[in-house]
Amino acid sequence: MYENLVYLDNAAATRLDERVLEAMKPYFFDVYAVATSQFGYSIGLDAREALDNARARIAAALGANPEEFIFTSGDTESSNLAIKGVALALGEKKGRHIITSPIEDFPVLHTVRALERQGFRATYVRVDETGRIDLDHLRESITPETILVSIQTANQEIGTLQDIRAIGEICREKGALFHTDATHAFPRVPLDVREIPVDLVTISAHTIHGPKGIGGLYIRRGTPVKKILDGGFHEFDLRPGVENIPGAVGFATAVELVTPEETERLRRMRDRLVERLLNEVPHTRLNGHPIYRLPHNANVSFRFVEGESLLLHLDMRGFAVSTGSACFSRSLEASHVILGIGGDHERAHGSVRFTFGRYNQEEDVDRVVEAVAEIVRELRRISPLGKE
Amino acid sequence: MPLPYSEIVMEHFRHPRNVGRIENPDAKAVEGSPACGDMVAVYLKVDPETQVITDIKFESYGCASNIATGSIITELAKGKTLEEAKRITWEEASRALGGLPPLKTHCAVLAVDGLHAAIENYEERHGLVKERQPTTVEFVRKRLKHVMNPVVGLDIVRTKLVKEIEVQDGVIRVVLDLPPDHMFAPTMKEDIEEKLGHRWDVKQVLVEFAG
């Protein structure tokens, strides 16, 4: 149906890998039972085994023990559970202060805001113009009442990577728990919880050619987290609900299919895209950090043009990208990330995110650069800005 | 699912009519700003005898519906007298485009406001304006009819979101019947400030949410 589509919005969702689908299929049609307790019937025990196995494989990729990883419906739920779960466990006992950054993705940002409305206090740690957080500001913001620091591993829009090892060490030293949203990083940017002092990690399958509707949360042994949904005793009594076993199996398979070689291939395409856009389209700038950034992410602002128009013209020519323009957002608000790193509204409106995935080819880069250059030229011709 | 835009919107987006500038225009106006993400500039040539708009051009910085509404108002206004063109409404522009999605009706408002501002600019330049109008509660209410409620695509007065308007010593206070954490609260606040902040006798615009 979309055979000529050049899909460059892999941060939003990815095409499912056929190998993932094949791995999932038996759990729709053959082993479709719920994962029963160890005293259940055979088909339920087989389902249990598949779930445990998927859990162990993802835990291994994180350097974690299987019982430290639970499945959720995706990164939104994982981050809600991490943050609200710690708030429920420690709000009364320790304190009601949480630290995060102004450029987090909505699952973290809006969860923290929801807690603020319930009387928690939040500090938004400063970020520089590339999106890296100010470590000194973080250190001085942690008080004895601080129950949790939630800082992403990589930014969803501009791809900036944080120094999560340094952040984790500061949190350890000052006695605060540390949650990181690694939805856009894991496993392309490896994260090993034996090396990084982190207590909670949000991950999701939808960004790595796995199925939508499955994600997970790493919870270091002993971390105080209370469940936020009430129901049965699934997932170590932290996340009730019938387990999504096909999803879990698909997620584990998707994690294993990501290789450093593939990620390197995406990085080369990304680098060439950035180089060509910056060289060939005037009044263009890269948003985010030039080095500390996701290997498959490019985010570029084109001055004097508005992103939704650019996106729509690209769509008509068979390209899918994303923009931080207010006109494109569901709430008509410009990207909080571009504004958060000190960019103005115009830079946010003219920002376009290109994210590569497994099914992109070298020639996609040249095709999209040519299309973008032409469309930007045309939109600037009709724009009242940038003429004088 | 098809795009949320009508065929006519897409046609005007792809091939906008009357794009560009008029050298030495008889009047011009810019509505919106890069900050709100939508901006339209309108240039007019007017026959001084007949008051007929003989030429009109526009430039747009904005989304597809911004470009399309800019384009359609030039078609609606060309050949009309200034008085006739003043009576063009955003609803008319939207209808001429085969309708706009609710989230985008503010683009039609912006384009039509741009046209009306250009006409005002002509009248100012040619000594056709009366006294400067003071900013009264009634005036504010009238302007608020140009602020859209993106949920339904109709203005915030008609959709009864405006609870209270107060004007005192150059300070306008508008209370909206919306919770402060409503998803459209920030964009409506910005829009209201944009519509009223530049008035000659206004020092401050306060937008409060009490829903």
The residue that leads in pLDDT, B109 or A262, is A262
Please answer whether residues A216 and A72 qualify as being in contact, where contact means their C-beta atoms are separated by less than 8 angstroms.
yes
Nearest CA in chain B to A323: B63
Q: Domain count of chain B? A: 2
Going by their DSSP bridges, the two strands A177-181 and B154-155 should be labelled as unpaired
Q: Could you give the C-alpha distances from A348 to A35, A75, A335, A339, B38, in angstroms and in order? A: 47, 25, 6, 7, 13
What CATH code is carried by the domain that includes residue B154? 3.30.300.130
Out of B69, B100, B125, a domain closes at B125
> At residue A49, what are phi and psi to the nearest 5 degrees?
-65, -40
Q: Could you give the C-alpha distances from A5 to A101, A137, A207, A314, B121, in angstroms and in order? A: 35, 44, 18, 10, 47
> Given this model, what pLDDT does residue A177 score?
98
Q: Find the catalytic residue in A56, A327, A339, A379.
A: A327
Parent domain of B40: 7-125
> Given this model, what pLDDT does residue A14 score?
98
| B52 plus B151 within the same structural domain | no
Q: How far is B35 from chain A (nearest CA, A)?
A: 5
> Given this model, what pLDDT does residue B195 score?
81
pLDDT range class, residue B191, cuts 50, 70, 90: confident
Structure confidence by residue, pLDDT tens digits, A287-305: 999 999 999 999 999 999 9
| Choice among A36-40, A54-58, B59-63 with the minimum mean pLDDT | A36-40
Residue A90, SS3 per DSSP: helix
Q: Check residue B134 and report its DSSP letter.
A: P
The residue that leads in pLDDT, A90 or B145, is A90
Please check the confidence at residue B9 and state whether its pLDDT lies above 60.
yes
Domains and CATH numbers, chain A: 18-257 (3.40.640.10), 259-382 (3.90.1150.10)
Mean pLDDT taken over chain A: 96
Structure tokens that stand for A55 in this block: 């859990």
Q: What is the pTM of this model?
A: 0.91
Domain contains B66: yes
Say which residue the tokens 């400067």 belong to: B132
Please answer whether residues A83 and A104 qualify as being in contact, where contact means their C-beta atoms are separated by less than 8 angstroms.
no
> Given this model, what pLDDT does residue B182 score?
86
Structure confidence by residue, pLDDT tens digits, B93-133: 999 999 999 888 888 899 999 999 999 989 988 877 767 78
For B16, which of A113, A312, A382 is closest by C-beta distance? Answer: A382
pLDDT range class, residue A388, cuts 50, 70, 90: low
**Rounded Cα gap, residues A87 and A224, in angstroms:** 9
Domain contains B92: yes
Q: For a pLDDT cut of 70, what percent of chain B falls above it?
A: 99
Structure confidence by residue, pLDDT tens digits, A202-237: 999 999 999 999 999 999 999 999 999 999 999 999
Mean pLDDT of A122-147: 98
Q: Is B36 a catalytic site residue?
A: yes
| B30 plus B105 within the same structural domain | yes
Q: Is B9 on the interface with A (CB under 8 A)?
A: no
Domain contains B2: no
| B148 plus B175 within the same structural domain | yes
Buried b vs exposed e over A367-376: b needs ≥16 C-beta within 10 Å?
A: ebbebbbebb
The residue that leads in pLDDT, A353 or B144, is A353
What CATH code is carried by the domain that includes residue B62? 3.90.1010.10
- Does the distance separating the beta carbons of B39 and A312 come in below 8 Å? no
Structure tokens that stand for B130 in this block: 């009366």
Nearest CA in chain A to B19: A382
> Given this model, what pLDDT does residue B198 score?
78
Please check the confidence at residue A332 and state whether its pLDDT lies above 90.
no
Q: Is B151 on the interface with A (CB under 8 A)?
A: no
| B101 plus B43 within the same structural domain | yes
- Does the distance separating the beta carbons of B40 and A382 come in below 8 Å? no
Please answer whether residues A35 and A51 qualify as being in contact, where contact means their C-beta atoms are separated by less than 8 angstroms.
yes
| Choice among A255-264, B41-50, B184-193 with the minimum mean pLDDT | B184-193
> At residue A290, what are phi and psi to the nearest 5 degrees?
-65, -30
Q: How far is B193 from chain A (nearest CA, A)?
A: 15
| B36 plus B98 within the same structural domain | yes
Q: In sequence order, which residues have a C-beta less than 8 Å from that of residue B1 and are 6 or more positions away?
A: none
| B120 plus B141 within the same structural domain | no
Please answer whether residues A215 and A21 qualify as being in contact, where contact means their C-beta atoms are separated by less than 8 angstroms.
no
Virtual CA dihedral for A31, A35, A40, A41, nearest 10 degrees? 0
> Given this model, what pLDDT does residue A234 score?
94
Structure confidence by residue, pLDDT tens digits, A145-204: 999 999 999 999 999 999 999 999 999 999 999 999 999 999 999 999 999 999 999 999
CB atoms within 10 A of CB A28: 11
For B37, which of A316, A327, A381 is closest by C-beta distance? Answer: A327
| B145 plus B111 within the same structural domain | no
Q: What is the ipTM of this complex?
A: 0.83
